[in-house]
């Protein structure tokens, strides 16, 4: 059983597979950011024990100006992750991308920490959007957060209106019941299917369709490695299960890969 491997054995195994891989895709969830002080969603101290998920319902946002006003206020105050800093796991992931070893990062997180740790936009597919930008719900234009924050909310609609088309603005994060961003989703599926090594970091793999990505990869024969605390529905499909904190585990993996590649 893979789960009986020691952490040192798991580190060496993963480093060997990364070194061998031609298309290595990294998929991250809330667990990669818990070491940055951002609570996860579903754990015992998770966000959903403190915040009513109804506040993040898309239909309610469309229907109710007061809901929009509250949500825009939260966005202006920073939202999830505004005060957090990337941790060692984010930097390890960013280094694997920068070295050309990882193909891309697919994330469920809206906290922007992959960007702030140095993953370029064309290597990052944020399936649930990002608090780094605001978007228009009519024409889907994205605006940098700093720019949108300066716009006064419309007194009737509760949120600013799109300068281009007059549509309702919303934070870049995807709410419950809101469609997934089409480009990011299509590209994440394509790259998952093309992967020969797929690493899950810090996701319980229960939120679909994001959680389908590792299944797409495994169906096409990719090696599947799951690094997270707790069980996932895909554990039985995994080639290697690692129960460890990503911020403690991943930097050692990167060091091993660099040793193998002769990178100082």
The residue from 11, 71, 90, 128 that is catalytic is: 128
> Measured from the CB of residue 153, what is the shortest distance to Zn ion in angstroms?
16
For residues 136 and 205, which CB has a smaller minimum distance to Zn ion in the complex? Answer: 136
Site for Zn ion in 105-134 (CB under 5 A): none
Q: Does 138 bind Zn ion (CB under 5 A)?
A: yes
Strands 129-136 and 169-173: antiparallel
Q: Does 147 bind Zn ion (CB under 5 A)?
A: no
Phi, psi of 91 (to 5 degrees): -70, -35
Distance between CA atoms of 182 and 101, rounded to whole angstroms? 26
Residue of 136, 218, 234, 254 that binds Zn ion (CB under 5 A): 136
> Measured from the CB of residue 160, what is the shortest distance to Zn ion in angstroms?
11
**Which one of the spans 65-73, 102-110, 157-165, 218-226 is the region binding Zn ion (CB under 5 A)?**
157-165
> Is 128 labeled as catalytic in the residue annotation?
yes
Residue of 16, 164, 220, 261 that binds Zn ion (CB under 5 A): 164
Q: Does 162 bind Zn ion (CB under 5 A)?
A: yes
For residues 16 and 164, which CB has a smaller minimum distance to Zn ion in the complex? Answer: 164
Q: E strands of the chain, at which residues? A: 24-28, 104-107, 124-126, 129-136, 142-144, 169-173, 197-201, 223-227, 240-242
Residues 256 and 15 sit within 8 Å (Cβ to Cβ):
yes
**Residues paired with residue 201 on neighbouring β-strands, in sequence order:** 28, 227
Alpha helices by DSSP H, listed for 78-211, are 88-98, 113-116, 145-149, 182-194
> Measured from the CB of residue 166, what is the shortest distance to Zn ion in angstroms?
7
Residue of 7, 165, 259, 263 that binds Zn ion (CB under 5 A): 165
> Measured from the CB of residue 35, what is the shortest distance to Zn ion in angstroms?
37
Give the burial class of 60: count Cβ atoms within 10 A of its Cβ; 0-12 exposed, 13-18 middle, 19 or more buried: middle
Phi, psi of 25 (to 5 degrees): -115, 135
Which sequence positions are flagged as catalytic? Answer: 128
């Amino acid at each position: 059983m893979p789960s009986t491997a020691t952490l040192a054995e798991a580190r060496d195994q993963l480093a060997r597979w990364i070194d061998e891989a031609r298309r290595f895709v990294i998929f991250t969830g809330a667990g990669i950011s818990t070491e940055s002080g951002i609570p996860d969603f579903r754990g015992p101290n998770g966000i959903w024990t403190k915040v009513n998920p109804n506040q993040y319902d898309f239909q309610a946002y469309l229907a109710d100006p007061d809901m929009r006003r509250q949500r825009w206020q939260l966005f202006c105050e920073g939202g999830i992750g505004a005060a957090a800093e990337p941790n060692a796991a984010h930097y390890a992931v960013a280094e694997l991308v920068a070295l050309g070893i990882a193909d891309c990062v697919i994330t469920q997180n809206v906290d922007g920490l992959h960007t702030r740790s140095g993953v370029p936009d064309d290597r990052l597919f944020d399936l649930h959007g990002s608090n780094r930008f605001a978007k228009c719900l009519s024409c889907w234009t994205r605006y940098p957060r700093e720019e949108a924050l300066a716009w006064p909310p419309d007194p009737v609609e509760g949120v600013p209106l799109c300068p281009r088309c007059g549509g309702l603005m919303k934070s870049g994060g995807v709410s419950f019941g809101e469609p997934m961003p089409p480009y990011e989703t299509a590209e994440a599926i394509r790259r998952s299917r093309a992967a020969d090594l797929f690493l899950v970091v810090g996701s319980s793999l229960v939120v679909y369709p994001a959680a389908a990505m590792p299944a797409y990869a495994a169906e096409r024969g990719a090696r599947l490695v799951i690094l997270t605390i707790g069980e996932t529905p895909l554990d039985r499909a995994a080639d290697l299960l690692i129960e460890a904190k990503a911020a403690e585990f991943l930097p050692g993996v990167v060091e091993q890969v660099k040793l193998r590649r002769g990178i100082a």
